[in-house]
Amino acid sequence: MNTNKVQIHGEESLQNVGPSKIKMAYQRFGNPALQPVFLIMGAGAQMINWPEGFCLELASHDLHPIRFDNRDAGLTTHFSDAPVPNFPAIQSGDFSTVTYTLSDMAQDTVGLMDALGYDSVHLVGASMGGMIAQTIAIEYPHRVRSLTSIMSTTGDHSVGQPDYAVLANLSSPPYDDRQAYIEWQIQSRKAIGSPKYPLNEKFIAQIAGLAWDRDHDPLGMMRQAVAVIKSGDRTEQLRSIKIPTLVIHGESDKMIDISGGRAVAAAIPGAELAAFEGMGHDLPKPLWSVFARKIANLIHRAESS
């Protein structure tokens, strides 16, 4: 596919989006007249964590990808006045310090659809973004034309658990020093990335530096993480999804075990599971064209049905 001719639009923002009336930052790729594909990123990640090259690959398949910052990430509204999440209390079932849930984040995404004039779109979500995409497909089925859930899970604690031995070696990200933050991101990717594919440290450093410059809210990721916890298990609700669905997962994922992806595919009727050997919790560049082709095939199948 030739991605050189695909137009890259500048970053934009909209005010008063969704019931929470937040500001949302987004960016389009390609022709707005083509099929809209909303790209939903994971916890603590910004829209720039959808690699530009991957977005261009999608656009080259006659699609119109739109990436955006979730609440509490990047240039979208941050809930800075919210209480600091109390993890021990939350783990014991006290959610009084949890400000919102995945359903609220789903409402944000649907609000962005409304603001951009879309009755329905195709959804592609990664990690927590996959959970949000699943939630939208459950709660707003008429707004979703196809669903792609990447390296995500159902919310059932018996599947998709991280490799805690790997995570134990990672400290919390430093939010007081730009260079230390960049180095932490590189070390994090070494720990949970794809062992089969070489890590481009220069690229990771570039994205991490840009992410720092756009936003480095130390509590944003924490507020998103506890939203996931409070939202619970979606397994039974996933059985109600009737749209074409693709589940992509790496067999070497140390952040969300592939059992989570298998559970998503098993719960959604007719879902296709695409498992990749040597892929971890990231989007390896050598697989961008493969992912884009699979997603495009799903979308074009949904449009022809």
- Residue 5's pLDDT is what? 78
Q: Where is 126: in which H helix or E strand? A: strand 121-126
Neighbours of 37 (CB within 10 A): 26
110-130: pLDDT as tens digits: 999 999 999 999 999 999 999
Q: Does position 1 have pLDDT exceeding 60, yes or no?
A: no
159-215: pLDDT as tens digits: 999 999 999 988 889 999 999 999 999 999 999 999 999 999 999 999 999 999 999
- What is the average per-residue pLDDT within 90-107? 97
Q: Where is 107: in which H helix or E strand? A: helix 102-116
Q: Does position 35 have pLDDT exceeding 80, yes or no?
A: yes
174 torsion bin: left (phi>0), alpha (psi -120 to 50), beta (else): beta
Closest CA to 18 of 83, 100, 134: 100
Neighbours of 286 (CB within 10 A): 11
Maximum C-alpha span of the chain: 53
pTM value > 0.75: yes
Structure tokens at 208: 């991490």
d(CA 125, CA 229): 18
- Residue 171's pLDDT is what? 85
Helices (H) and strands (E) counted in the chain, each on its own, are 11, 8
